[in-house]
Amino acid sequence: MARARKATATRARKAAEAPLAEHDPVARVLVDLPLAHLDRAFDYAVPAAMAEAARPGVRVKVRFAGQDVDGFLVERRATSDHTGALHPLRRVVSPEPVLTPAVAGLCEDVARRYAGTRSDVLRLAVPPRHATVEKEDPEPVARPVELDLAAAEQAWAGYAAAPAYLRHLADGGAPRAVWASGPGTDWPALVAHAVAVTRAAGKGALVVVPDHADVARVDTALTGLLGPGQHVVLTADAGPARRYREFLAVVRDGRRVVVGTRAAAFAPVHDLGLLVIWDDGDDLYAEPRAPYPHAREVLLTRAEREGTAMLLGGFARSVEAQQLLRTGWAQPLALARGELRTRARIEIAGADDHSLDRDPLARAARLPSQVHRLVRDALEAGPVLVQNPRAGYVTSLACVRCRTPARCGVCRGPLDLTSATAAPSCRWCGTAAEGWSCPECGDRGLRAPVVGEARTAEELGRAFPGVVVRMSAGEHVLTDVESAAAIVVATPGAEPVAAGGYAAVVLLDTWLALGVDHLRAEEEALRRWSNAVGLLRPGGRAIAVGDPGHPALQALVRWDHAGFAEREAESRREAHLPPASRLATLTGEVGAVDDVLTLLDRPEGTEVLGPTPVPGADPERVRAVVRVPRIHGLALSDALGELQRLRSARKLDPVRIQVDPPTL
CATH of the domain at 43: 3.40.1440
Q: Residue range 309-326: average pLDDT?
A: 97
Q: Is residue 419 part of a domain?
A: no
- Please list, in sequence order, all residues whose beta carbon lies within 8 angstroms of the beta carbon of residue 73, skipping any fewer than 6 positions away: 27, 28, 29, 54, 55, 56, 57, 58, 59, 60, 89, 92
Q: Residue range 357-370: average pLDDT?
A: 68
**Looking at the structure, do residues 530 and 502 belong to the same domain, yes or no?**
yes
**Looking at the structure, do residues 508 and 603 belong to the same domain, yes or no?**
no
pLDDT value at 117 more than 80: yes
**Looking at the structure, do residues 485 and 627 belong to the same domain, yes or no?**
no
pLDDT at site 424: 86
Q: Is residue 504 part of a domain?
A: yes
Residues linked to residue 540 through DSSP beta bridges, in sequence order: 344
Q: How far apart are the C-alpha atoms of 586 and 653, rounded to whole Å? A: 13
**Looking at the structure, do residues 569 and 581 belong to the same domain, yes or no?**
no
Least confident of 113-117, 460-464, 518-522: 518-522
Q: Is residue 52 part of a domain?
A: yes
pLDDT value at 17 more than 70: no
Handedness of CA 336, 341, 342, 348 (dihedral sign): positive
**Looking at the structure, do residues 487 and 516 belong to the same domain, yes or no?**
yes
pLDDT at site 356: 58
Q: Is residue 272 part of a domain?
A: yes
**Looking at the structure, do residues 506 and 543 belong to the same domain, yes or no?**
yes
**Helix (H) or strand (E) run with residue 633 in it:** helix 633-649
pLDDT value at 363 more than 70: no
Residues linked to residue 277 through DSSP beta bridges, in sequence order: 208, 312
Considering the entire predicted model, what is its pTM?
0.91
**Looking at the structure, do residues 312 and 179 belong to the same domain, yes or no?**
yes
Q: Is residue 134 part of a domain?
A: no
Q: How many CA atoms lie within 13 A of 657 on its CB side?
A: 32
**Looking at the structure, do residues 212 and 252 belong to the same domain, yes or no?**
yes
Average model confidence (pLDDT) for the chain? 91
CB atoms inside a 10 Å sphere around CB 35: 14
Q: How far apart are the C-alpha atoms of 627 and 625, rounded to whole Å? A: 7
SS3 letters across 378-429: HCCCCCEEEECCCCCCEEEEEECCCCCECECCCCCCEEEECCCCCCCEECCC
Instruction: Give me the domain span that covers residue 69.
Output: 2-97
Q: Are residues 236 and 208 in contact, defined by beta-carbon separation less than 8 angstroms?
A: no
pLDDT level of residue 234 (50, 70, 90 thresholds): very high
Percent of the chain scoring above 70 in pLDDT: 95
Tens of pLDDT, residue by residue over 564-585, are: 999 999 999 998 889 999 999 9
pLDDT value at 393 more than 80: no
pLDDT at site 357: 55
**Looking at the structure, do residues 159 and 275 belong to the same domain, yes or no?**
yes
Cis peptide before 579 (omega within 30 of 0): yes
Q: How far apart are the C-alpha atoms of 57 and 630, rounded to whole Å? A: 34
pLDDT at site 351: 67
**Looking at the structure, do residues 183 and 295 belong to the same domain, yes or no?**
yes
Q: How far apart are the C-alpha atoms of 391 and 312, rounded to whole Å? A: 30
Q: Residue range 389-414: average pLDDT?
A: 83
Q: Which of 527, 557, 573 marks a domain boundary?
A: 573
Tens of pLDDT, residue by residue over 318-355, are: 999 999 999 999 999 999 888 888 889 999 987 665 66
pLDDT level of residue 515 (50, 70, 90 thresholds): confident
250 or 450, which is more confident: 250
Number of folded domains in the chain?
4
pLDDT at site 448: 76
Percent of the chain scoring above 90 in pLDDT: 73
- Please list, in sequence order, all residues whose beta carbon lies within 8 angstroms of the beta carbon of residue 290, skipping any fewer than 6 positions away: 116, 117, 120, 656
Q: Are residues 206 and 267 in contact, defined by beta-carbon separation less than 8 angstroms?
A: yes
DSSP, residue by residue, 600-619: --PPTT-EEEEEEEPTTS-T
Q: Is residue 135 part of a domain?
A: no
- Give CA separation, 354 vs 357, 363, 544, 558, in Å: 5, 13, 16, 19
**Looking at the structure, do residues 583 and 566 belong to the same domain, yes or no?**
no
Nearest to 624 by CA among 648, 607, 647, 608: 608
Q: Residue range 461-473: average pLDDT?
A: 94
Q: Residue range 494-507: average pLDDT?
A: 96
Q: Is residue 64 part of a domain?
A: yes
514 or 100, which is more confident: 100
**CATH (domain of 560):** 3.40.50
pLDDT level of residue 641 (50, 70, 90 thresholds): very high
**CATH (domain of 236):** 3.40.50.300
- Please list, in sequence order, all residues whose beta carbon lies within 8 angstroms of the beta carbon of residue 28, skipping any fewer than 6 positions away: 41, 42, 43, 44, 73, 74, 75, 76, 77
**CATH (domain of 638):** 3.30.70
**Looking at the structure, do residues 202 and 285 belong to the same domain, yes or no?**
yes
Least confident of 302-311, 361-370, 373-382: 361-370
pLDDT at site 619: 79
Tens of pLDDT, residue by residue over 405-444, are: 889 888 888 888 887 778 888 888 888 888 888 888 888 8
Measured torsion, CA atoms of residues 37, 40, 45, 48, in degrees rounded to the nearest 10: 140
Q: Which of 97, 117, 139 marks a domain boundary?
A: 97
Tens of pLDDT, residue by residue over 177-186, are: 999 999 999 9
Q: Is residue 155 part of a domain?
A: yes
pLDDT at site 428: 86
Q: Which of 78, 97, 116 marks a domain boundary?
A: 97
